[in-house]
Amino acid sequence: MSITLSQAITQTRHYLKDTTENVWTNVEIIAFIDEAIGIIKKTVPLWFTTLTRITNPTVTTAANLAQLIVIDVDYANLISIFASARCFEQDEQFYRGVQKMNEFEARKLEMEDDIYASDEYAALLAASTTVTDEHVEDVYSDTVAEDDSIIGYM
């Protein structure tokens, strides 16, 4: 599943109680949404290979707002929670910002646990991990004396 950037902005505005678009511009919200995508992508990079950053966070064209954010619907609100926390922080509403950031961190940990416990992640991990026989060659065999000390070094 996925959401559009426009939907993520609307959800962020809902958290901010800024539905009239008087306080925050779309460009500011998009920048924080893009930051959230980067953080979520780093959380479990093997899982979020299709999650991409916003093409151009400083542009609010119709094409940019229609950009899909490919993330499971269960985790899509994480992006908006983070963006609203950053907006509150910038607006010096630190208490509300901390509340939202704590909510983001708690939900992110739940997301990680859900992903790591899923059969899909186990299969993905197994497919990406290749087991090879590794061995170490003794490249110094010609320089080792009979008593296993290295010749020429003291």
* Cβ–Cβ under 8 Å, residues 87 and 24: yes
Is residue 154's pLDDT more than 80?
no
Rounded distance between C-alpha atoms, residue 11 and residue 13, angstroms: 5
With pLDDT > 70 as the criterion, what percentage of the chain qualifies? 73
Average pLDDT over every residue of 41-68: 75
User: CB-based burial of residue 76 (10 Å sphere; 0-12 exposed, 13-18 middle, 19+ buried)?
Assistant: middle
For the chain, the average pLDDT equals 80
**Band of pLDDT at residue 101, cut at 50, 70 and 90:** very high
pTM above 0.75, yes or no: no
* Cβ–Cβ under 8 Å, residues 51 and 40: yes
Joined together, the tokens standing for residue 9 give 């902005």
Residue of 74, 91, 71 lying closest to 25 (CA atoms): 91
Joined together, the tokens standing for residue 101 give 């950031």
Find how far residue 132's CA is from the centre of its chain.
30
Average pLDDT over every residue of 14-42: 88
User: CB-based burial of residue 128 (10 Å sphere; 0-12 exposed, 13-18 middle, 19+ buried)?
Assistant: exposed
Identify the residue with better confidence: 105 or 64. 105
Q: What pLDDT is stored for residue 61 in this prediction?
A: 60
Q: What pLDDT is stored for residue 135 in this prediction?
A: 57
Identify the residue with better confidence: 55 or 90. 90
Rounded distance between C-alpha atoms, residue 83 and residue 30, angstroms: 8
Average pLDDT over every residue of 92-98: 88
Q: What pLDDT is stored for residue 64 in this prediction?
A: 61
Give 46-58 pLDDT, tens digit per residue. 888 888 877 666 6
Is residue 111's pLDDT more than 80?
yes
**Cα(first)–Cα(last) distance of the chain, in Å?**
66
Rounded distance between C-alpha atoms, residue 71 and residue 116, angstroms: 16
